[in-house]
Structure 1
Amino acid sequence: MPPDPTRSAPAPFDAVLFDMDGTLVDTEGLWWEATADVAAGLGRELGPSDLPHVLGRTVHDTACHLAPDDVARVSDRLTDSFADRIRKGVRVVPGARELLRALTASAVPTALVSASPRSIVELVLPSLGHRFEVVVAAEDTARGKPYPDPYLEAARLLETDPRRCVALEDSPTGVAAATTAGCDVLVVSVEVGLPALADVIRRKGRS
């Protein structure tokens, strides 16, 4: 039997940092639907120009985009609308559970770095069946993605250098945040799924 590359040599990174929506779980569509419903209640119809203000952004940022004069109320409506959809069940992205299990087996620390509020994160976590050493949610930093703050905070809590971390992201907003923080970034998609740990190690080794 060939040696397992995840065990035969130490990983060339200190930790793996995961985005949540659209990376580990297929919830970006649910977030868009929730936002579209709230926008409709405000007399707005979402279109392509709204994408950068919705996907990968915090509830607060999206509320500011939709209703800058009524941010608190619209934020609550967005969170409630998204939570209602999450409670009906989420699809875990193919390969996500396998990669998380492999990281645990290899003693590689993991962090969840999400633009979603903690209440949403807590609804999603049971579906992943994984204990992250660190969870950074929208409330945990003054600025959300695309600013680097969430990834810098995750690295700080893990007591490591962000340049020694790999971040998995699906959106331009998240990629910008992780890149600016200094992480090596792997761009993933719900259609293709997440890579195996051996592939993450190989891709990191080439960077």
Structure 2
Amino acid sequence: MPSDSTPRAPLPYEAVLFDMDGTLVDTEGLWWEATVDVAASLGRVLGPADTPYVHGRTVEDTAAHLAPAADQETVDAVAERLTESFADRIRRGVRVIPGAAELLRALATEAVPTALVSASPRSIVELVLPSLGHRFAVVVAAGETARGKPHPDPYLEAARLLAADPRRCVAVEDSPTGIAAATAAGCRVLVVSPSAGLPDLRVMSLS
């Protein structure tokens, strides 16, 4: 058996790029609740058919879905209400996905660069970051690239800021929208779920 002093094999990637909601923190349910409440105030009842327009989407995309015939000013107002409703729920506390803290700590120990690539606006990201206890080298939030997920722009921007080749980055995602974005950027994608939790660094290295 190798001793603790045995050199580790080089990790097969340059950086790890993490989604936030549903990947590191279990906030997808909070986002759905916030969206349902705002939709109800607009006279809409949401159901399973609306999920692809909410799960993993930016606030602006979801606002446009809730008010499809509205002008931009109205959509912006709906987006603001969605953000505040979501923020109110996050302020009450969020559950960190099992394995997330351990994986982030292991990546820090190995000096592997990490980025947070979120479909949430920066104001929401800043509320969540303290619960993760990790310093990301790069944070890319919604609205900080020309296009959001499912387009590749956020992942390409994170890789650019890290000076990493997207093809040698692992993107950790939970939603079809995020998976599509990371795949389009050329990243290797590790799909996780809040119920199963995140793998440890050894498993990631073998995947």
Q: TM-score range by the shorter chain?
A: over 0.9
Q: Deviations over 1:36-57 (max 9, x none)?
A: 0000000001011101100000
**Within 2, Cα distance between the matches of 1:6 and 1:56?**
41
SS in 2 for 1:115: coil
Aligned to 2:162: 158
More helix by share: 1
CA shift for structure 1 position 10: 1.4
Instruction: Choose the corresponding residue for 2:174, options 164, 170, 176.
Output: 170
**Within 1, Cα distance between the matches of 2:63 and 2:7?**
46
Q: Which amino acid in structure 2 is aligned with residue 50 of structure 1?
A: D
**Within 2, Cα distance between the matches of 1:6 and 1:192?**
31
**Within 2, Cα distance between the matches of 1:91 and 1:155?**
27
Q: Which amino acid in structure 1 is aligned with residue 18 of structure 2?
A: F
Aligned to 1:201: 205
1:102-113 correspondence to structure 2 within 5 Å: 102-113=106-117
Q: Runs of 4 or more off by more than 2 Å in structure 1?
A: 1-7
Q: Which amino acid in structure 2 is aligned with residue 113 of structure 1?
A: V
CA shift for structure 1 position 143: 0.8
**Within 1, Cα distance between the matches of 2:98 and 2:7?**
23
Q: Which amino acid in structure 2 is aligned with residue 63 of structure 1?
A: A
Aligned to 1:39: 39
**Within 2, Cα distance between the matches of 1:88 and 1:65?**
27
**Within 2, Cα distance between the matches of 1:7 and 1:89?**
40
Aligned to 1:83: 87
Distance 1:5 1:162, change over 3 A: farther
Gaps of 5+ in 2: none
Aligned to 1:59: 59
Aligned to 1:186: 190
Q: Which amino acid in structure 2 is aligned with residue 140 of structure 1?
A: E
Tell me if the contact between 1:32 and 1:55 (Cα under 8 Å) persists in the aligned partners. Answer: yes
Q: How many residues align?
A: 203
Tell me if the contact between 1:6 and 1:198 (Cα under 8 Å) persists in the aligned partners. Answer: no
Q: Deviations over 1:35-91 (max 9, x none)?
A: 000000000010111011000000000000001312111000000000000000000
1:124-163 correspondence to structure 2 within 5 Å: 124-163=128-167
Tell me if the contact between 1:5 and 1:198 (Cα under 8 Å) persists in the aligned partners. Answer: no
Q: TM-score, normalised by structure 1?
A: 0.95
Distance 1:163 1:90, change over 3 A: same
**Within 2, Cα distance between the matches of 1:45 and 1:6?**
59
SS in 2 for 1:16: strand
Q: Which amino acid in structure 2 is aligned with residue 103 of structure 1?
A: L
Gaps of 5+ in 1: none
**Within 2, Cα distance between the matches of 1:5 and 1:192?**
32
Q: Which amino acid in structure 2 is aligned with residue 174 of structure 1?
A: G
Superposition RMSD in Å: 1.4
Q: Which amino acid in structure 2 is aligned with residue 43 of structure 1?
A: G
Q: Which amino acid in structure 2 is aligned with residue 34 of structure 1?
A: A
SS in 2 for 1:8: coil
